[in-house]
Chains A and B, each alone.
Chain A
Amino acid sequence: MNNYLLFTIPFFLLWLTSRIAYQYSMTMFAMIKLKALDQSLNQLYYSFEQVVYFYNQTTRVKAIKQMNRKDIHLRYDYHPFIFTELTGIYIELRHEQTLTLAYLPIDQFMLPYLDQKMQENALDYQSSKRISIAKLFHPDTKKKLIDEVYNQMTVGRYS
């Protein structure tokens, strides 16, 4: 085997494990910070108010009108390569074709508790952002986000 390829193994390893390491680091960071604030990730209230929808309940797209909840998936939008950073979440319908239903930019994911702590100078912006990201990685948040988008698409906002 050519050595040219072999010596790149550590760098590929660095790249391929960066997302999982990033998720783990964000969660750990959030747990440590929140513990210091006598708070926990599970208890943080959040809002999906800033999700932007590319379709609505009145759409004529057949795939969306007939969609099932189980066909809705999240796709994390990362800063590419090794400097992994979550920038948002695509909410997609994956059935016969893939349709992007909605998008939530991470900067707009709102947790009132974190804003309040930033106001009180108990938390800086970067820490607040990392905790928001950790909250988005939380399985319950992911499920709720899918539920939210499914409800908006099937029931509608002004129904």
Chain B
Amino acid sequence: MTELIKWITFISIIALALNGVRFFLDNQRNRLLLFLFFSFSFLSFQSYSLDEYYLIVVLYLVTGMYTLNISGLIASSIVILIQHILLLDSSWVLFSLFIIMNVAIYLIGTKALNHFLQLREWKRKMYHNTKQLTIMKEITSAIQQTDELDRLLHIIVTSITAGHGLGFNRCLVFLNDNQTGTIHGMMGIGPVRGKEGFEKWNEIAAKKYRLTDLLERMDEEHIDPELNEIVSSLSFPLETNTLFYQALRDGEDRLLNLNATNDTILRELCDYFHMGDVLLVPMVYQNEKIGILLIDNPVTHKPITPEEIDNLMPLALQTAIAIHQLNMYQNIKQMSVTDGLTKLKNQRALKDDLAHIFSEKKPKFGMVMIDIDHFKHYNDTNGHLLGNVALEQLAKLLKDHISNIDQSYRFGGEEFSLIFMNVTPEETYQLAENIRELVEQTIFPNQELQPSSNLTISLGVSHTDLIEEQSEEAILHTSDQALYLAKSSGKNNTVLYQKEALS
């Protein structure tokens, strides 16, 4: 008993010492060290009553299998055999039992190991799928909260690059313009050069930015200005021999090494952004070629795995659908405020704009109502088709002769409206008069058939300084009153509204 206690104490001290050092070693050395420890414990155990001995043999074989797998099992078997030959009588029965025990331990050990590996794989898959689901849920939620393209693209590229999202180092977005056959750089997130990425990542980690913080930062400051300056300046013709076009045509992603490609677009991008391995993901929805996502890891240089691409594809589709719907929404929105014939803003847009201007503090602007003189006669004489041509020509003239901050509208029929921002009443009158003169000098088709042998306009001018009640109704009403006076006082005339006397 005393011998046993001595042995237990001695081996326990070794076990504790072993635990103190073995985790400093790598996994293989740690396992080897433990195998040697078990071997030493086995060989130093001095009590050889048979039942105890057989139990220890079994345990030693199990630890051999556990520490070094099949190699450990074989090594422990050899140790046992040598010891048996040296110290005990040989017996075929015992030897047969020993072999059976080895096989059983091997089979059970392998099964247990496979089971353990399978559990680990399941856990890994569950982690990835849960993460993927969470990302999709969050991105969908964020996308639904925006109707602006820039914001939408920012959500997408942030989600692709942020650690909360898919965790790629850099993402560039290119959108296809079907009308011009070109593809434009829209936005990007990531460093221009790999090394800068660590600085940014350190900053994000230090400040503990969350995905929402990164998304909000767009409102505060422009993200990655150097990268975005380059990206937004890029525009490429979408020729059929380019990989961009081919990816959009077949809808297939491509993992490429840009150093080994001759593609003109990609070569140029490689020069700008020092790209190596890059993933090209087309965004296609119902055969509509929306654009391209270009993704790479210039900071960590981690290879892009098939699993990561699988995770990315639903996001690319989601992006394509969102951009498609946003385009449709923008088109419909645009149509609802645009006059179909002249492409000027319509009366609804005028009222919206006036409401917006009057919601600001102390608005100051001039308003001009325009009516084409004898337009019924023009239509009756020349037909409505030529009447439309005259309306389009006048609309273009108005649009071309106002500044960027001013607005032009087709009020309805042959009536047009103009808003001149930040001008005095007198300046508004002068601008209106200039336009009247310009129209008078412009040649319209068949204008010689008009009563005055010319197509002319009458204009009524009002201004926020001239009206008491600062409202949309007041400015529309007063400019309309002035127009009425211009019409009734001989046409081809400009009248400035004044409360007491109209001149």
Query: Chain A interface (Cβ within 8 Å of chain B)?
Result: 3-4, 6-7, 9-11, 13-14, 17-18, 21-22, 24-26, 28-29, 45-50, 52-54, 56, 80-85, 87, 103, 105, 110-113, 115-116, 119, 126, 148, 157-159
Contacts and interface: CB of A to CB of B under 8 A. Distances in A.
A52 B4 contact: no
B300 A52 contact: no
B208 A47 contact: yes
Nearest to B55: A4
Interface in B122-162: 124, 127, 130-131, 134, 137-138, 141-142, 145, 162
Contacts of B19: 14, 17-18, 21
A112 B138 contact: no
B4 A6 contact: yes
30 contacts: A4-B52, A7-B4, A10-B12, A10-B15, A13-B16, A14-B19, A21-B19, A22-B23, A25-B22, A25-B23, A25-B24, A26-B23, A29-B23, A45-B202, A50-B164, A52-B134, A53-B130, A53-B134, A54-B130, A81-B66, A83-B27, A103-B127, A105-B127, A116-B198, A116-B202, A119-B301, A148-B208, A158-B141, A158-B142, A158-B212
Contacts, number: 123
A112 B201 contact: yes
A50 B212 contact: no
Contacts of A24: 20
Contacts of B201: 112, 115
Interface of B: 4-5, 7-8, 11-12, 14-16, 18-24, 26-27, 30-31, 34, 37, 41, 45, 47, 52, 55-56, 66, 116, 120, 124, 127, 130-131, 134, 137-138, 141-142, 145, 162-164, 167, 198, 201-202, 204-206, 208, 210-212, 299-301
A13 B12 contact: yes
A22 B131 CA distance: 29
Contacts of B55: 4
Contacts of B11: 10
A40 B180 CA distance: 56
B127 A52 contact: yes
A115 B198 contact: yes
Contacts of A82: 34
Given A45-B205, A112-B201, A3 B47 contact: yes
B56 A9 contact: no
Given A7-B56, A21-B22, A157-B212, 16 more contacts: A3-B4, A7-B4, A7-B45, A9-B8, A13-B15, A14-B19, A21-B19, A48-B208, A49-B164, A49-B167, A80-B116, A82-B34, A84-B23, A119-B299, A148-B208, A158-B142
A15 B72 CA distance: 19
B384 to A, nearest CB: 54
Nearest to B20: A21
Contact of A159 (B45, B124, B212): B212
Contact of A83 (B31, B41, B138): B31
A110 B11 CA distance: 40
A111 B8 contact: no
Nearest to A14: B15
